[in-house]
Structure 1
Amino acid sequence: MLSRVAPWLASRRDGAAPGVVVRVMGGADTADLLVLAQQDAVANVFILSHLATAGTASPTGGGATIFGVFDGGTLIGACWAGANLVPVQLDPELAGEVAVAAQQSGRRFASIFGPAETVLAMYAALEKLGQRAHDVRDHQPLMTIAGPPAVPPEPALGFGRLADFDRILPACAAMFEEEVGYSPFLGGREYYSRRVKGLIRQGHSLVHLGPDDEVVFKAELGAVTPEVTQVQGVWMNPALRGQGLSAGYMAAVVVLAQTVAPVTSLYVNGFNTKARATYERVGFRQVGTFATVLF
């Protein structure tokens, strides 16, 4: 694992300042990373959620690391490198340095997601290193709502229960496959199943089961801090789509999410005009633009 980038390595571009280095962060860097990420609590909710849970910037037991970009010893950007790459307050001009460090780590990444300009700059650098994406979603409005939703919430939505895991899991898998184009069970069911169970246990699974115990609607709070939740995995049963039900369910998502944190956020594909219109009807407003690169 690359721990420091020396001046003669490829991860220093000619445009980088002489004192800029990229290295894997450790426990001693935790406070600096927290301050950096708190500069944008919405865009950086993923890493802030991780720090709230783990309490450290050190590598995880599963092998995920956080690359820090330092200028003369001062942290000026970072990037989570686990199953995905997630930049944190990273200047697009420095994305190439982090891309090289990620490439040299030997780890495979499923995606890059985060602020669009930085994500696309990182992918451009990885592409030069031989990485090829199967999909690039370069315009994903980042949206938030604080305060009550603008439409009445659907009262049937509630927090998922472990007793309903066998019903919730297939709906989660269906959403995943619709969104990324392949099954989350490729290579086995264990990892994804554990992830869904974990969300249920944490009280971050939101679901409505109909009279036949089929999932009508579901969503998850994929990242959670005391200030912000990020909604992910929004899915309506295909048999019930087109009936104008989504806004009420999303309003209920907001109400439930705000029992956890005051600001509810999400990001949505720019081409998904129906979803965007629903979120705007509920009261979400765009505060930034994300991008996602899927490998």
Structure 2
Amino acid sequence: MIRATQADRAEIVAFLRRHLPIAMFPLANLRHHGMAGGHPRAMAFWLRNKEGMITDIAAMTDAGFLFPVCPTQPWADLRAAVQGHRVAAILGEAAQVAGLRMGLGLQGAAGYAATEPHYDLRLADLVIPPTDGLTLHPLADAPRDLVIGWRHAYLRETMLGQESAMEATAIKDIDSYLAADSHRVLFDGDTPVAMTGFNAVLPDAVQIGGVYTRPQLRARGLARRAVALHLAQARAAGVTRATLFAATAAASKAYEAVGFRQIGDFAIVLHDAPQVVHG
């Protein structure tokens, strides 16, 4: 595999869009942060070509988040290409992530590893449940301390953050959501009850992430209503497709109720410390 240059950008985008549900993170990062580096989410790409056509792409952020979009699973070639690079996380289609971890010699390095059902939805098929008394608001309409607390609880429940850094991570996350206007809060009358958001955004597609309902209000369908209303806003703005991966059986049930259908499994692997790839 070879390191891509700016000249390859159009071909990279075309290839990743053919694999859109598993390529939302690299596509959105590329759109918003480019390939020049200097931002934690700026992208680098390694390509495998056959007869002049891209067959596989490995995408990595400046922060070391690695996203395989590699249908032919060229792990030995990729290991040689990224030798010396530091990998902080691997995210993608579950079988590819498993193969890549083994191929890079990192299968024992995870501090956190999860495989979750992966869902896709054409927004023409979105089902919006009854929402009497419920309204969706920008994140800024809810008290900042409240949504920081929700985010902290989400990180704790999903084990996605290190215990010692969860509070700081929650603050950083909420501030980034506010800056990007990526998240919404569902209100029941004047009371905030749930949060939803997009963790990757393209002009025609979004990826849902960070959905949270206050524990005492769960099993009432609030999460699905928040997600459906946010997707309806996106659809009105021209978005035609949504994808997500579900952390729990209850989350899967909520997403299926608004039209999502499982297309596979998505894996998330986070390392406690970045791991150097050796040859």
Whether the aligned pair in 2 keeps the contact of 1:268 and 1:275 (CA below 8 Å) is yes
**CA shift for structure 1 position 59:** 2.8
**CA shift for structure 1 position 177:** 2.0
2:149 aligned with 1:173: no
The answer to which structure has the higher strand fraction is 2
CA distance in 2, matches of 1:217, 1:204: 15
**Judging changes above 3 Å, is the alpha-carbon distance between structure 1 residues 57 and 252 closer, same or farther for their aligned structure 2 residues?**
same
2:18 aligned with 1:39: yes
TM-score between both structures, scaled by the size of structure 1 = 0.77
Structure 2: stretches of 5+ with no match in the other structure: 272-279
2:39 aligned with 1:58: no
Query: Residue 281 of structure 1 corresponds to which residue in structure 2?
Result: 257
CA distance in 1, matches of 2:264, 2:142: 38
SS at match of 1:172: helix
CA distance in 1, matches of 2:204, 2:39: 27
Whether the aligned pair in 2 keeps the contact of 1:227 and 1:263 (CA below 8 Å) is yes
**Judging changes above 3 Å, is the alpha-carbon distance between structure 1 residues 188 and 98 closer, same or farther for their aligned structure 2 residues?**
farther
Code of the aligned partner of 2:73? E
Whether the aligned pair in 1 keeps the contact of 2:117 and 2:265 (CA below 8 Å) is yes
Match of residue 193, structure 1, among 147, 150, 171: 171
Whether the aligned pair in 2 keeps the contact of 1:123 and 1:293 (CA below 8 Å) is no
Query: Residue 66 of structure 2 corresponds to which residue in structure 1?
Result: 85
**Judging changes above 3 Å, is the alpha-carbon distance between structure 1 residues 182 and 61 closer, same or farther for their aligned structure 2 residues?**
closer
Structure 1: stretches of 5+ with no match in the other structure: 1-20
Whether the aligned pair in 1 keeps the contact of 2:29 and 2:42 (CA below 8 Å) is no
Whether the aligned pair in 2 keeps the contact of 1:220 and 1:232 (CA below 8 Å) is yes
**Judging changes above 3 Å, is the alpha-carbon distance between structure 1 residues 239 and 33 closer, same or farther for their aligned structure 2 residues?**
same
Whether the aligned pair in 2 keeps the contact of 1:142 and 1:286 (CA below 8 Å) is yes
Match of residue 255, structure 1, among 232, 257, 263: 232
Code of the aligned partner of 2:16? A
CA distance in 1, matches of 2:111, 2:127: 36
Query: Residue 69 of structure 1 corresponds to which residue in structure 2?
Result: 47
Higher relative contact order (CA 8 A, sep 6+): 2
Match of residue 129, structure 2, among 151, 169, 173: 151
Query: Residue 231 of structure 1 corresponds to which residue in structure 2?
Result: 208
**CA shift for structure 1 position 49:** 1.4
Q: Deviations over 1:238-280 (max 9, x none)?
A: 12123343332332232233244222221114xx222211211
Code of the aligned partner of 2:261? R
Instruction: Calculate the aligned-residue CA RMSD, in Å.
Output: 3.0
Q: Percent identity?
A: 23
**Judging changes above 3 Å, is the alpha-carbon distance between structure 1 residues 131 and 255 closer, same or farther for their aligned structure 2 residues?**
same
CA distance in 2, matches of 1:146, 1:63: 27
